[in-house]
Amino acid sequence: MVKTLIITLLIVLVAGGAFAETWTCSMHPQYKLPEPGQCPTCFMDLIPLDESASAGVSPNALKLSEDATALAEIMTSVVELKTVVVAVPLLGKIEIDETATREVTAWITGRIEKLFVDATGMNVTKGEPLLSLYSPELYSAQAELKQNSSSARRRLKLWGLDDKQIDAIAKSKTPVEKIDIPSPLSGVVLHKEVLQGKYVKTGDHLYTIGDLSTLWLDLRAYESDLPLLAVGQIVDFKVDAIPGKQFTGSIDFIDPVLDQQSRTTGVRVVVDNSDNLLRPGELVRAVIESVVGTDENPPLIIPDTAPLLTGKRAIVYVKIPGVEHVFEGREIELGVHAGDYYEVISGLKEGEEVVTNGAFKIDSAMQIVAKPSMMSMSEDEVVVLDIPDFFTEQLGDILDAYFELQVALSGDNNKAATVAAQKMDKALQPVEVGHGGVGFAKQYKVMSSSLAEILKSDEIALRRVAFKPLSETLWETLTGFGYEPEKPVRLFNCSMAFNNSGGRWMQESTVTSNPYYGASMLRCGSEQAAIKPPVETGGK
């Protein structure tokens, strides 16, 4: 904590800052006054505005001292062109290959005289008789056939007899009253709907037979994973029934229609099952290794720790070449999130250096000196993802419990904080991470671990530390997924929290209730943004 204080002081009070002619409020940087005093809004002491951090650099850039850069632990990575391999995990189950399934129906009216295949699950061979059917119509057709009637031959063919059977009937000296119905393919009897002695009519269903030597793997892919999938990709998967063994298949179809409830689409994989180890209905855990880009046309990539994401905006801090310790904020357009990297569509070029550690500290300093930062975005810049209604309702349950936790911490009520954290954790656990895609998976992990930290400690000071990432991540989730509240959800920020590094939280009331200080500094902070109900924004 002391280290963070030193960093902030070095950022705000660099050389000559102590003798600045302009003074500002750390919580309300819009005020710029010519002499020290108190903030007109919160009545806190003004701090000197570091104009040296702005001198000689663009409005979107910040200049730091060498010591401030070191203490802020700022790290950079070079923007580069290279292919990225990312593992895409998918869940699904094994299904029967629809193209290798046949229905066996009665081609002629009659009575089941004998069943050669009398149980579901039996293996059959193509051409093998399934049952014997007695039919008076066969007797009359035989009489016509002996008179070399072409119409009788055609009728027998329609009943499923081949030329060999028809010739045998024509040569027979005794009346033929029964016909054997053969299996149309080799496989397994999936359904049997006849009993010996049953009278059937033309078209009645008798058997369903499936060839299980080839199976389908029905996987469900979330829409955020679709850019990484393509027909022809190899899929590795495992089943619980055969531990330790890995199977492979290839994607042969991706459903063009997205399920509106689950926000997933079907991915069909063809699997060789000639060894009969796999069974339809088994659950599967699959992984697809997707390569983003090609050796001839590699994508421009940056580590996924570099961009600061708010709504549809992605901001990175770029190290200005040839100038020591100057970082420029730049809005970029991101493409695919591939593992630990983001594809960059526009805004950066190969060879530039982006901040991968310490970007939030730079952004906080930009805000203090009233420069454009991640927080300075208008409401119309926010774009949201389309998600199922039930997922939005789950977010509402989480938010309700969060508000209880915020009230408890701001009221110094440690016992109530325990109850609220338990309630929030209970609301978070049932949420299906995949509905929000890759981004929400990381958000879920942060919120879950933050709640675990709160619940394992009885010290309210430690709970307040864990409440910070919980608050910031939940706000990111709500804005990113377009949560529509019944009452405004207000984002507050106290720049003095955590030794002046700042702390944000959400609350319902318009009156500041700081959960990081409680009664000792309850009114420290001001409203920065809000999620308004649809009726206030003109929504549905």
CATH for 227: 2.40.30.170
My answer on whether 179 and 305 are in the same domain is no
pLDDT of residue 321: 87
What residue type is assigned to position 248 of the chain?
A: T
Full domain range(s) for residue 201: 98-210
Kindly report, residue by residue over 373-414, the tens digit of the pLDDT.
Answer: 665 544 444 334 445 556 677 888 999 999 999 999 999 999
My answer on whether 423 and 510 are in the same domain is yes
My answer on whether 157 and 72 are in the same domain is no
372-376 CB contacts, 8 Å cutoff, 24+ apart: 372/59, 372/60, 372/329, 373/329, 374/308, 374/310, 374/313, 374/315, 375/310, 375/493, 375/528, 375/529
My answer on whether 267 and 396 are in the same domain is no
Q: Pick 146 or 332 by higher pLDDT.
A: 332
pLDDT of residue 57: 59
Kindly report, residue by residue over 452-483, the tens digit of the pLDDT.
Answer: 999 998 899 999 999 999 998 898 888 777 78
In a domain, 15, yes or no: yes
My answer on whether 181 and 232 are in the same domain is no
Say yes or no to pLDDT of 165 above 90.
no
Kindly report, residue by residue over 181-195, the tens digit of the pLDDT.
Answer: 888 889 899 999 888
Least confident of 25-39, 60-74, 323-337: 25-39
Report the relative pairing of strands 247-254 and 264-272 from DSSP bridges. antiparallel
* Domain end among 324, 352, 381: 381
User: Which SS3 state, helix, strand or coil, does residue 197 take?
Assistant: coil
My answer on whether 59 and 170 are in the same domain is no
CATH number of residue 427's parent domain: 1.20.120
In a domain, 399, yes or no: yes
Extended strands (E) in 349-442: 353-357
The pair of three-digit structure tokens given for residue 390, joined into one six-digit string: 């039930």
Closest listed residue to residue 345, CA positions, set 79, 75, 88, 86: 79
- Mean residue pLDDT of the chain comes to 81
In a domain, 67, yes or no: yes
In a domain, 133, yes or no: yes
* Count of domains forming the chain: 4
Say yes or no to pLDDT of 20 above 50.
no
Say yes or no to pLDDT of 318 above 80.
yes
Where does the pLDDT of residue 536 fall: very low under 50, low under 70, confident under 90, or very high at 90 and above?
Answer: low
My answer on whether 511 and 490 are in the same domain is yes
Interatomic CA distance for residues 527 and 162, integer angstroms: 84
CATH number of residue 175's parent domain: 2.40.50.100
pLDDT of residue 3: 45
Contact assessment for residue 145 and residue 156, using Cβ atoms and an 8 Å cutoff: yes
Say yes or no to pLDDT of 420 above 90.
yes
- Residue 328's H or E segment, with its range, is strand 326-338
pLDDT of residue 441: 72
7 forms beta bridges with none
Of all residues in the chain, what percent carry a pLDDT higher than 70? 81
pLDDT of residue 167: 78
Report the relative pairing of strands 187-192 and 199-200 from DSSP bridges. unpaired
My answer on whether 418 and 531 are in the same domain is yes
* Domain end among 187, 210, 233: 210
pLDDT of residue 357: 87
Mean pLDDT of 370-374: 63
In a domain, 291, yes or no: no
Least confident of 13-27, 352-366, 399-413: 13-27
In a domain, 87, yes or no: no
Contact assessment for residue 420 and residue 408, using Cβ atoms and an 8 Å cutoff: yes
Mean pLDDT of 269-275: 93
Where does the pLDDT of residue 51 fall: very low under 50, low under 70, confident under 90, or very high at 90 and above?
Answer: low
My answer on whether 123 and 221 are in the same domain is no
The structure tokens 């009664």 sit at 519
Say yes or no to pLDDT of 33 above 70.
yes
pLDDT of residue 29: 60
Kindly report, residue by residue over 476-531, the tens digit of the pLDDT.
Answer: 888 777 788 888 999 998 888 887 778 899 999 999 999 999 999 999 888 888 88
My answer on whether 527 and 401 are in the same domain is yes
Question: Could you give the dihedral angle defined by the CA atoms of residues 476, 482, 486 and 489, in that order, rounded to the nearest 10 degrees?
Answer: 20
My answer on whether 102 and 200 are in the same domain is yes
Q: What's phi and psi for 485, nearest 5 deg?
A: -85, 160
| Backbone torsion region of residue 287, taken as left when φ is above 0, otherwise alpha when ψ lies between -120 and 50, otherwise beta | beta
In a domain, 89, yes or no: no
* Domain end among 362, 381, 400: 381
Where does the pLDDT of residue 371 fall: very low under 50, low under 70, confident under 90, or very high at 90 and above?
Answer: low
pLDDT of residue 390: 61
In a domain, 26, yes or no: yes
Q: What's phi and psi for 474, nearest 5 deg?
A: -65, -40
Where does the pLDDT of residue 21 fall: very low under 50, low under 70, confident under 90, or very high at 90 and above?
Answer: low
Residue 355: CB atoms within 10 A of its CB come to 25
Interatomic CA distance for residues 115 and 130, integer angstroms: 6
CATH number of residue 327's parent domain: 2.40.420.20
My answer on whether 128 and 184 are in the same domain is yes
Q: What's phi and psi for 481, nearest 5 deg?
A: -105, 10
Mean pLDDT of 62-83: 82
Mean pLDDT of 331-358: 89
